[in-house]
C-alpha cells in the first residue's frame, strides 16, 4: 500500500501546491485567529475551485471548532481544517454491481474529458478483478470514436460491440445488451458520444439509450458514470447538475487529477452535488484509474515532503 500511497501523493503534487500550500500560508502568516484570517481562507478555498458554498461551510465549521476547543494559535488550524475536509469528502462508495449478470455501466460526459480512454482503463481495472468485460461503441457520431474504443478493447482484451458510423446509438446498445446476456459477461461498459450539457437533442438521446437498457434489463443501468476533467474546475460541478437532471448520475470518474492544481474541485463536487466520486484518474497509463478512497486522498493531499 505504501507504493500506491506514494504514487497518489506524487500525482497530487500540483493540487497540493495550489491548494494545501496556499492554505498553510494563510495560517502561518497570521498573527492571530480573527475575521481577516477566516476571510483570507475563504478566498483561497474559492480560488482553489472548492466552490463558494462548500468554502463557506468549511470556514464556518472551522470557526465552530476553534470556539469549542478554545484554539488560539493559527498554526493549529491546518490540522483542524484537514479533519473537516475528511468529513466533507465522506465515506468511500464503491461501484455497484448486480448479482445477476451482466452489470451495465452507462458512461457519459462532455467532449474532451477522456471518456473513451477512461472506459478502456475501467475495462482493465475490472478484468484485473477476474471479471469478463464487454464494451459497446454507442458513440457513432465522432469519426474515430469506434476505432479508438476498439484499440482500447484490444489493449484490455475485451470484445467491442459496434455498428457502422452514423448508426442509431440506441440500436448499438440494444445489440450489446443482448450479446452481453448471451455470452455470460460480467460487465457491459457503454461508451456514448461526448455531448455539451446544454444540447437538448443530444441529452434526449442519452435518455433514450437509458430507457433501452432499462427495458432489456430491469433495475439497470447499475451505474451511470459521469466522466469529468479535473482541470475544468468549477465548470465540472455545473456539468454534474445538468447531467443529473437527464440521466440520474450515480457516480463520478474524475480524470486528470495528476495534471492540475484544481483538485480542490473534488470537495465542491462532493459538497454541492451529493453525487459520489467513485474513481479517479491519476495518470495516462492503463493502470492509472483508482478507487477514490477519501481518507487516502486527503492523507496524500496533506502529506509533507518527508513522508
Most confident of 27-31, 32-36, 194-198: 32-36
- The CB density around residue 236, as the number of other CB atoms within 10 Å, is 25
Helix axes 235-247, 265-273, angle to 10 degrees: 40
What separation in angstroms does the CA of 93 have from each of 100, 228, 255, 275, 276? 21, 17, 17, 10, 7
Span 44-61, mean pLDDT?
91
Final residue in a domain of this structure, among 89, 114, 132: 89
The answer to whether residues 241 and 152 belong to one domain is: yes
The answer to whether residues 137 and 276 belong to one domain is: yes
Is the residue at 52 inside a domain?
yes
pLDDT for 90:
86
Flag whether pLDDT at 65 surpasses 90. Answer: yes
| Dist CA 205 CA 9 (whole Å) | 40
The answer to whether residues 44 and 173 belong to one domain is: no
CB 255 within 8 A of CB 265: no
pLDDT for 272:
85
Is the residue at 299 inside a domain?
no
Span 256-276, mean pLDDT?
86
Half-sphere exposure in the Cβ direction for 31 (13 Å, CA) = 0
pLDDT range class, residue 197, cuts 50, 70, 90: low
pLDDT for 180:
97
Span 70-80, mean pLDDT?
93
pLDDT for 19:
86
Domain span including residue 183:
103-291
Is the residue at 306 inside a domain?
no
pLDDT for 1:
40
- Identify the CA nearest to 234 among candidates 109, 51, 110, 89: 51
Flag whether pLDDT at 203 surpasses 60. Answer: yes
pLDDT range class, residue 18, cuts 50, 70, 90: confident
H or E element, residue 110? none
CB 55 within 8 A of CB 45: yes
pLDDT range class, residue 112, cuts 50, 70, 90: confident
Flag whether pLDDT at 132 surpasses 90. Answer: yes
The answer to whether residues 79 and 188 belong to one domain is: no
pLDDT for 198:
57
- The CB density around residue 179, as the number of other CB atoms within 10 Å, is 16
pLDDT range class, residue 147, cuts 50, 70, 90: very high
- Identify the CA nearest to 123 among candidates 137, 144, 142: 137
Is the residue at 95 inside a domain?
no
pLDDT for 307:
44
Burial class (CB in 10 A: 0-12, 13-18, 19+), 24: middle
Cis peptide bond upstream of 221, omega within 30: yes
Residue 40 sits in a domain whose CATH number is: 1.20.120.140
Span 40-69, mean pLDDT?
93
Higher pLDDT, 6 or 9: 9
pLDDT range class, residue 169, cuts 50, 70, 90: very high
pLDDT tens digits along 213-264: 999 999 999 999 999 998 888 888 889 988 888 889 999 999 988 877 778 8
Dmax of the chain from CA atoms? 69
| Dist CA 194 CA 113 (whole Å) | 8
pLDDT range class, residue 306, cuts 50, 70, 90: very low
The answer to whether residues 30 and 145 belong to one domain is: no
Final residue in a domain of this structure, among 57, 89, 121: 89
Is the residue at 18 inside a domain?
yes
pLDDT range class, residue 196, cuts 50, 70, 90: low
Helix axes 145-156, 115-127, angle to 10 degrees: 20
How many domains is the chain built from? 2
8-state DSSP, 195: -
**Cell 452489470, residue?**
103
Residue 207 sits in a domain whose CATH number is: 3.40.50.300
CB 193 within 8 A of CB 139: yes
The answer to whether residues 83 and 110 belong to one domain is: no
**Cell 497570521, residue?**
30
| Dist CA 39 CA 207 (whole Å) | 43
Final residue in a domain of this structure, among 89, 115, 145: 89
Is the residue at 297 inside a domain?
no
The answer to whether residues 161 and 262 belong to one domain is: yes
The answer to whether residues 7 and 59 belong to one domain is: yes
- What Rg do the C-alpha atoms of the chain give, in angstroms? 21
pLDDT for 261:
76
The answer to whether residues 181 and 78 belong to one domain is: no
Residue 128 C-alpha cell reads as 484485473
The answer to whether residues 110 and 58 belong to one domain is: no
The answer to whether residues 25 and 122 belong to one domain is: no
The answer to whether residues 132 and 42 belong to one domain is: no
Is the residue at 230 inside a domain?
yes
Amino acid at each position: 500500500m505504501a507504493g500506491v500511497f506514494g504514487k497518489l501523493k506524487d500525482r497530487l503534487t500540483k493540487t497540493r501546491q495550489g491548494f494545501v500550500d496556499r492554505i498553510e500560508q494563510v495560517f502561518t502568516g497570521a498573527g492571530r485567529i480573527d475575521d481577516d484570517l477566516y476571510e483570507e481562507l475563504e478566498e483561497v478555498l474559492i480560488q482553489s475551485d472548492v466552490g463558494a458554498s462548500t468554502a463557506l461551510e468549511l470556514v464556518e465549521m472551522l470557526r465552530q471548532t476553534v470556539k469549542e476547543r478554545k484554539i488560539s494559535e493559527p498554526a493549529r488550524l491546518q490540522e483542524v481544517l484537514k479533519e473537516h475536509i475528511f468529513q466533507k469528502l465522506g465515506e468511500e462508495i464503491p461501484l455497484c454491481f448486480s448479482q445477476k449478470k451482466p452489470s451495465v455501466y452507462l458512461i457519459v460526459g462532455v467532449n474532451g474529458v477522456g471518456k473513451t480512454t477512461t472506459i478502456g482503463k475501467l475495462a482493465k481495472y475490472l478484468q484485473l478483478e477476474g471479471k469478463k468485460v464487454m464494451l459497446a461503441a454507442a458513440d457513432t457520431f465522432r469519426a474515430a470514436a469506434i476505432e479508438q474504443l476498439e484499440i482500447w478493447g484490444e489493449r484490455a482484451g475485451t470484445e467491442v460491440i459496434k455498428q457502422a458510423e452514423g448508426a442509431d446509438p440506441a440500436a448499438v446498445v440494444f445489440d450489446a445488451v443482448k450479446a452481453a446476456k448471451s455470452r455470460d459477461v460480467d460487465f457491459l461498459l457503454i461508451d456514448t458520444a461526448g455531448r455539451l450539457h446544454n444540447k437538448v437533442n443530444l441529452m434526449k438521446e442519452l435518455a433514450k439509450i437509458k430507457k433501452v437498457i432499462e427495458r432489456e434489463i430491469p433495475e439497470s443501468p447499475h451505474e451511470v458514470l459521469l466522466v469529468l476533467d479535473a482541470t475544468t474546475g468549477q465548470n465540472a460541478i455545473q456539468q454534474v447538475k445538468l447531467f443529473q437532471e437527464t440521466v440520474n448520475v450515480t457516480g463520478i470518474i474524475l480524470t486528470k487529477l495528476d495534471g492540475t492544481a484544481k483538485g480542490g474541485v473534488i470537495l465542491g463536487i462532493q459538497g454541492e452535488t451529493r453525487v459520489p466520486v467513485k474513481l479517479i484518474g491519476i495518470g495516462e497509463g492503463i493502470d492509472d484509474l483508482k478507487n477514490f478512497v477519501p481518507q487516502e486522498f486527503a492523507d496524500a493531499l496533506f502529506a509533507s515532503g518527508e513522508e
